[in-house]
Amino acid sequence: MNQSTSVNQDKNMRKVALTALAGTSIEWYDFFLYGAAAALIFPTAFFGEVPETTALILSLLTFAAGFIARPIGGIIFGHFGDRVGRKKTLIAALMLMGISSTLIGLLPTYAMIGVTAPILLTLLRFAQGLAIGGQWGGAMLLVTESAPSNQRGYYGAFAQAGAPIGVILANLALIITSALVSEEFFNTWGWRIPFLASAVLILISMYIQLNLEDTKAFKALATNSDNNSNEKVKSSPVVEAIRRYPKRIMLAAGAFLSVQVTFYILIAFMLAYGVSSANMERDDMLTAVLIGCAIMVPLQFMFSSYSDRNGRKGIFMLGAILSGAWAFAIFPLVDTGNFWLIVLALTFGLIFLAMMYGPQAAFFTELFSTEVRYSGATLGYQFGAIVGGAFAPTIAVKLWTDFDIVWVSAYIAFASMLTLISVMLLTETYKSNLDEEI
């Protein structure tokens, strides 16, 4: 390979990685913006006639609706991702998210249209979940299938970094908006501004359509399928993935449990807990989460690069062990009411998650063969999301209010143990060839 070709390939790879990062960051921004709003704003705006704790639980249940939709979105988008390509499917998912989130910003409240408001809110949250169900597989495969074999973990981290960056953007949007307007205006109209900004996803979708090609792995698969009809996946790619890899899909879902349970407790439940139990200001809790996520991002790249050299499983399992242990330190630190100790609690929790979430894109890519990779990886990811993340904030609220906060720590530790066992049962993948049949 001459130097000019190598430079062009590196430049194209960076463009693919940065575009995936931009798309996933804004997509997750929308998803997490809802989580923050569900904890802080929606209980009053959409469930104003019930007791405060009931309103919070109902609001967090609408948050869960997005997770219920994620596997459905994974099935739908996974089918088309393996049939028509990674790029087209990613564009469709981004467009759906942009439209759904913008409409949330335009939604009338309970005071305006009564019970219709929370129903419409839940439907739009469900649409967000469908979009997230398809987005992750498209962005992740667009990057990892295009990356050099010895850098799949590193480049896969660009797709993964969208999650903590999305949290940062969502929290910044709420903090800045609340700082610029009065409390009364923020609670009635100001909260809508960050949702309306979601329209930028439509522009990113257009950029991807005009400037990026599909991955070499998918184009090679399409060419082979055209040349040899016997090589086509006869049934739906989703059905084929389940038929070929049922154990891997379930273990991949199990591997994701610790990340999901812990992450959503830290970024969603913790907002309500810190304000209520530790008497912290809303913006202080949002800032603490923001700082932790900002530190998480570069460390995801570090842990992902480590996995390229030393394997995915070791760093993943270490993250699960440390997450389970740290769970019992988080709430005592938050209960101090000291801002910097709260930052410490959240930051270390997110660092330990980065050990798992960073290498995950490459790990899941390498578990499945090309013709069903979108479907297989997405099913594992999204089933793990619905079991782990869908009801994590709601379960945490019930454990906290009905028993004691230590049971929330035990809940995190239990999820971490299941992740550890799941990863132990999976094979090491970092030296695999994506073009070979698995």
Tokens of 134: 């398809």
Is the pLDDT confidence value at 119 over 60?
yes
Nearest 5°: the CA angle 215, 230, 373 is 35
Is the pLDDT confidence value at 281 over 80?
yes
Residue 346 or residue 111, greater confidence:
346
Residue 358 or residue 81, greater confidence:
358
- Cβ atoms of 288 and 339 closer than 8 Å: yes
Task: Among 235-239, 340-344, 401-405, name the one with the lowest average pLDDT.
Answer: 235-239
pLDDT tens for residues 385-397?
888 877 788 889 8
What does the DSSP 8-state code read for residue 106? Answer: T
Which among 155, 185, 158, 165 has a CA at the least distance from the CA of 31?
165
Alpha carbon of residue 410 to chain centroid: 23
Mean pLDDT of the region 168-192: 82
Model pLDDT, residue 223: 59
Tokens of 397: 């609220």
Query: Class of 9-211+235-425 per CATH?
Result: mainly alpha
Place of tokens 């070979």: 436
- Cβ atoms of 388 and 262 closer than 8 Å: no
Q: Is the dihedral of CA 409, 414, 420, 426 positive or negative?
A: negative
Mean pLDDT of the region 162-172: 84
pTM of the shown model: 0.81
Model pLDDT, residue 230: 46
Tally of CB atoms within 10 A around 11? 10
Give the mean pLDDT of the chain: 83
What 3-state class would DSSP assign to 184?
helix
pLDDT tens for residues 121-161?
999 989 988 888 777 777 788 788 788 888 889 999 988 88
Best-predicted range by mean pLDDT among 5-19, 181-195, 416-430? 416-430
Model pLDDT, residue 233: 47
Q: How many CA atoms lie within 13 A of 10 on its CB side?
A: 7
Q: pLDDT tier at 88 (50, 70, 90 boundaries)?
A: confident
The amino acid that residue 256 corresponds to is: F
From residue 139, give the alpha-carbon distance in Å to each of 14, 132, 154, 212: 14, 11, 14, 12
